[in-house]
Structure 1
Amino acid sequence: MAAAQVTGRKSEDGLWETVKVIIQALLIAFVVRTFLYQPFNIPSASMYPTLKVGDYLFVSKLSYGYGRYSFNFSLGLFSHEIVSCCPFGFSGRVFLAEDPKRGDVAVFKLPSDTSIDYIKRVIGLPGDRIQMRDGILFINGQAVKKERIEDFVDRSETGLGQPVPQFVETLPNGVSYRVLDTEPMGDADTTDEYVVPAGHFFMMGDNRDNSQDSRYPRVGFVPIENFVGRAEIIFFSVSPDASLFEVWRWPLAIRWSRFFTLI
């Protein structure tokens, strides 16, 4: 009987240790997701060729400090009255390490509907004058360098794909990235000049003719408090033809070459 009791106690201790490990792992995951890195997936083609539909990426929530949209809860900590006098930050954010920089790829809450997350590239900073002229980006009256390179082809599982004109754009601070021009005279290839208000940013998608961004009233200028974080790395990527849960299709559907790609 004593031996049976000892065996039973060991089994209970082993089960409790397993439960503790699971709880600790869940707590760590909760802390990381809440305060450090949040995973997002890309559902649209507005950031092609930088980000593709089916990419899964980590967004650093601490990059721009914490704001009212950094968490699913705020407990009133990010009201204007409290943050405005907080010694740790300004403009609706606390622990602000740095402002969004020109060229950053960032996730933000859509100003017209904060239940929706958008991801675009930071193009205009507060006080900048932004304009598109015949497909050329102008910042403060100066044309941004735009070089033609090879066509972009997004091949599907069948190996087919329509070539799209592709360019390398280089911002005044030296940040370079690729943009697509599917329509030579697209609706937003020529715009009025936008003057970015204080505390706001001008955001654009890399797929210029297929992006709802700050050129359109639905998005407009994005206030700093709407920023969720900066996109850092692609940790998983799967063809949009296959679901993340269709494990049996992974060998062919997974884009292995995009794993751990820095953004």
Structure 2
Amino acid sequence: MQRFYFALLLGFISFCLDGCSEPTSSTSAYARNPTISDARGRPRNSTTFYFPAADSSYPFTNSVEYPPSQLLYASCNLLYFGAPVLSNYYLNTDVYRFLWLRSFNQPVLLTLRRSATGGSIRTQFLDKPNCGIKLVTVQFIPPKASAQQVKQLEQELRKRQADLLQQQRIAKINRPPVHITSKETTRSISPQQWQQFEQLLAQSRFQQLPPFEAPTGAIDGASWLLESHQASGYHMVFRHEPNAAEGFRRACEYLLDLSSARAEERY
């Protein structure tokens, strides 16, 4: 009988420890795939893709094998922000997250987190975007170049590779982005402000918006990505320079107005 109660006690302790080791999650709404992230949202490694495959296909091909480069770019920047993956496990707290990637300004990440008294909004900046592509010095050699021409071009390449100023330029471009901690803030928001934001989302029909639209072909501008992380499920919407009259943009701009990034250039 003593052994029975001892085993029962061990089982109870194990149950409690398991319950404390990770946040509760909605098994029906989230994939809970440990190859993507752990139960606290920490990405498995530096190659982790932050968004669900079903939301990450080109609409005109319906292919999930090759996610759009815009979403790969967004995922890489979230990694450098140290942000958790919101699409894989429910993290036991309702969260909205807005990633703002502008061609000519610093990346901005706003994280709106619910609390018993309303919520908080955290504003983070990187000093530069993570482009993902490493630059190297190369030299094009025409296929029909003569041996003398090849030799001359190779000499020019070695000369440029040895150039200290050139090396410094490439190193500056290739270095990873870093947080600007002096610009990071966390502010409280009221229940009324949280409600106002969710009303704007409802007016924009956020949950019904396609996650990703066909790219416009623009090579600069700004990308607006908003994620919703709720116990009932996850949804994300990515748009390139959404129209100022669109409800989606108005909801994102409301978050900007609540944050310390409200004075940043908008486009």
Q: TM-score, normalised by structure 2?
A: 0.28
Task: Decide which structure has greater strand share.
Answer: 1
